[in-house]
Amino acid sequence: MNESGYNMGGGVKQSQAVTVADVSKRSGLSTATVSRVLNNSPLVREQTKAKVLEAMRELGYTANHSARALARKRTDTIGVIFPGIDAGFFSEVLIGVNQLASENDMHLAVAFARNKPEEAQMVSEYLYGGRVDALILMNLRIDDKFIREAAMAPTPMVLIDRPAKDARLVTVRMDNAAGAEEAMTHLLDLGHRRIAVIRGPQGTFDSDERWLGCLQAMKRSGVKPDPELIWEGTFHDHSGYEAMSSWLDAGKPLPEAIFALNDPMAIGVLEALTERGLRVPDDVALVGFDDIESARYLGLTTVSSPMRGLGRTACQAVVELLEGAPRRPKEHVLPTELIVRRSTMIAGSP
């Protein structure tokens, strides 16, 4: 020990410096009263409260989180679990979650699951481990069965970007289909007919819904989807690059427009085109989805995804549940917005 009273060696922790007992002794009040002050109970006289606070200040008291959590059965913490950390927009969603969490004096425990088994295990641990008061799950790939069971746990749970099937859960998602339909309609209104679509990975919720939106728009305009113009991608930029490159290498004719179901793939397409001296929108119109930062800089027409809104809405729902709102299934669907930029502006038209 040194003069400051703290052990400065390695990672060794000694017992907590100051406890309610210390404050109790110092102030001459009981631990119960100290606790009451800590919890802003109205049953303490201003004068005693002042005494306690003074003692706390003098001793440099900070309440022990684990002890409080154990006794109160609440942690004032919301858990947020994301799928593999490179899953794109986690940071935007997290910003949204945090905004509402901090407004409600809630802390955040953030975890990233790398694979399906880990996801399920993490969810279990958080649900039943008393580490958090509630859980927000982003786009996880867990079985419906597991989700249904988890929905019965005492810890409330909100799902982002993943349907809940028949589990009695609050879910938050964006209107992928409407967004895609709007973008596709935009291209059709521009007079384009031979429109290629680059989809995301098979079975991805977002990709599937966006594709449905495309079909819907084509149907309404009486345009039949051409199987040749349905390209498969992975949501990564290089898959857009690959798709475009191999199409051109095969000597096939440019479509009139290309709709990549997310921005990175659209940007990959753009690179492949640029490399060959082809120009957007002069030679081909291009649309993406999500409105990532780069889309703005590149002048890419795209559909804006309400990522922060998803986070905020999910967290809002969690807070309400924690405040006692009845647990009934509810699906929040946030709107997207078409952002028209250079990549679909017709050059010479009057």
Partner DNA sequence: ATGAAAGCGCTAACAT
Partner DNA sequence: ATGTTAGCGCTTTCAT
- Please state whether beta strands 330-334 and 170-174 pair in parallel, antiparallel, or not at all (unpaired): parallel
CA 183, 189, 190: angle at the middle one, nearest 5? 95
| Least CB distance to DNA at residue 311 (A) | 29
| Least CB distance to DNA at residue 113 (A) | 23
Q: Of a second copy, DNA, none, which one does residue 53 interact with (CB within 5 to 8 Å by kind)?
A: none
CA–chain centroid gap for 142, Å, is 16
Q: Is 48 in the site for DNA (CB under 7 A)?
A: yes
Q: Is 132 in the site for DNA (CB under 7 A)?
A: no
- The tokens of 60 are what? 């440099």
CA distance 309 to 316: 10
| Least CB distance to DNA at residue 55 (A) | 12
Out of 7, 57, 64, 86, name the contact with DNA by CB under 7 A.
64
Q: Of a second copy, DNA, none, which one does residue 12 interact with (CB within 5 to 8 Å by kind)?
A: a second copy
- Give 185 or 305: the residue with its C-beta nearer to a second copy: 305
| Least CB distance to a second copy at residue 330 (A) | 14
CA distance 310 to 316: 10
Q: Is 38 in the site for DNA (CB under 7 A)?
A: yes
CA–chain centroid gap for 315, Å, is 10
- Give 154 or 350: the residue with its C-beta nearer to a second copy: 154
Compute CA distances 121 → 52, 118, 126, 155, 272, whole Å: 43, 5, 9, 15, 41
Q: Is 13 in the site for DNA (CB under 7 A)?
A: no
- Give 43 or 347: the residue with its C-beta nearer to DNA: 43
- The tokens of 82 are what? 């994301």
Out of 29, 106, 167, 273, name the contact with DNA by CB under 7 A.
29
| Least CB distance to a second copy at residue 198 (A) | 17
CA distance 29 to 101: 34
If 0-12 CB within 10 Å is exposed, 13-18 middle and 19+ buried, where does residue 317 land? buried
| Least CB distance to a second copy at residue 227 (A) | 30
Phi, psi at 186, each rounded to 5°: -55, -50
Out of 6, 7, 30, 275, name the contact with DNA by CB under 7 A.
30
- Give 10 or 42: the residue with its C-beta nearer to a second copy: 10
Compute CA distances 12 → 6, 16, 63, 66, whole Å: 11, 12, 20, 18
Which parts of 278-307 interact with DNA (CB under 7 A)?
Answer: none
Q: Of a second copy, DNA, none, which one does residue 107 interact with (CB within 5 to 8 Å by kind)?
A: a second copy
Instruction: Name the segment binding DNA (CB under 7 A); options: 3-11, 22-30, 203-211, 218-226.
Output: 22-30
Q: Of DNA, a second copy, none, which one does residue 250 interact with (CB within 5 to 8 Å by kind)?
A: none
Out of 25, 31, 76, 190, name the contact with DNA by CB under 7 A.
31
Give me the amino acid identity at 96. Answer: G
CA distance 344 to 135: 41
Give me the amino acid identity at 69. Answer: A
Q: Of a second copy, DNA, none, which one does residue 346 interact with (CB within 5 to 8 Å by kind)?
A: none
Instruction: Name the segment binding DNA (CB under 7 A); options: 32-40, 78-86, 105-113, 260-268.
Output: 32-40
User: Which stretches of the chain bind DNA, using CB under 7 A?
Assistant: 15-16, 19-21, 28-36, 38-39, 43-45, 47-49, 61, 63-64, 67-68, 70-73, 130
